[in-house]
Structure 1
């Protein structure tokens, strides 16, 4: 059974960081020193648990920026990324956020477009990977 939970970093760190380390550092070769940042302590973190095992994560900053969306490889293709994104947006709306944005890896643009995000501006490099800014306006 899968459970989606929103939590503060103090509670989320031991669940979310191993996923981020696996996906971003090990798989995508993002330098480990770039993975944790000053935004983690103030962000809301979503964690997906499957029978108690953390399998996916993402975060939402108070300014509406969604990031660090990651699903462990063996759980990809099950719709968890979509549900995780919807969970973060829904929670943000409850907290009064009107506009959401993110820096999408260019390979994931179509995923975010399916969820109503629109490309803004030109591609840029972040942590050695091409990204592009995308925004979602609240209903």
Structure 2
């Protein structure tokens, strides 16, 4: 959490109250540590949020009446979301963002049942995840995600999340055979 607070709250001025959300308890998170000294220091993080996700309208239209929308979007194909990717300033440019994305997606490929079970706990029924992945990329990070194989969804447009312009980017990953 310290990395997210430093990057998002201190550097990017996101309100601390917006940094921790309802997805944190139901997500998987990875941390990269600098172990070049005797003390291991966390330097980079990523979060994988299982389906279902909140309707996109709640993000792109902050004035939308939340009571008129379902809490979760179950009308579209289930997808996981990579979020809260943060690397401390002094460790940027070392490929840690790619390593985090690769680790999270590699884990997801082999843990489909766990992802679907997390979804089932929320919606009370089975929704099959077929490898679809979304990132809400800050516009400044769009090129990085393109290098990772994500494609910008022009239909989603651009929107403001906590004062930072974002775009939606998709990727489909191959999954390991189900057991």
TM-score (norm 2): 0.67
Aligned positions, number = 123
TM-fit CA distance, 1:62: 1.2
Match of 2:173 in 1: 138
Q: Indicate the SS of the match to 1:68.
A: strand
Q: Which residue of 1 aligns with 2:43?
A: 55
Structure exhibiting the larger radius of gyration computed from Cα positions: 2
2:17 is aligned, of 23, 27, 33, to 33
Tell me, in whole angstroms, the C-alpha distance in 1 between the residues paired with 2:33 and 2:140: 26
Could you list the per-position Cα deviations for residues 4-46 of structure 1 after superposition, in whole angstroms to 9, with x for gaps in the alignment? Answer: xxxxxxxxxxxxx100000000000001100000100110001
* 2:90 paired residue among 74, 77, 88: 74
Mapping of 1:103-118 within 5 angstroms? 103-118=136-151
Larger relative strand fraction: 1
* Alignment TM-score, normalising by the size of structure 1: 0.86
Query: Any gaps of 5 or more consecutive residues in structure 2?
Result: 52-79, 113-128, 175-179
- 1:106 and 1:83 mapped to 2: Cα distance? 20
My pick for the range that moved more, 90-99 or 113-122, is 90-99
Instruction: In structure 1, list runs of 5 or more residues that go unmatched.
Output: 1-16
1:69 positional shift: 0.2
Structure 1 moving runs of 4+ over 2 Å? none
What is the aligned-residue RMSD (CA, Å)?
A: 0.9
Partner of 1:129: 164
SS of the aligned residue for 1:38 comes to: coil
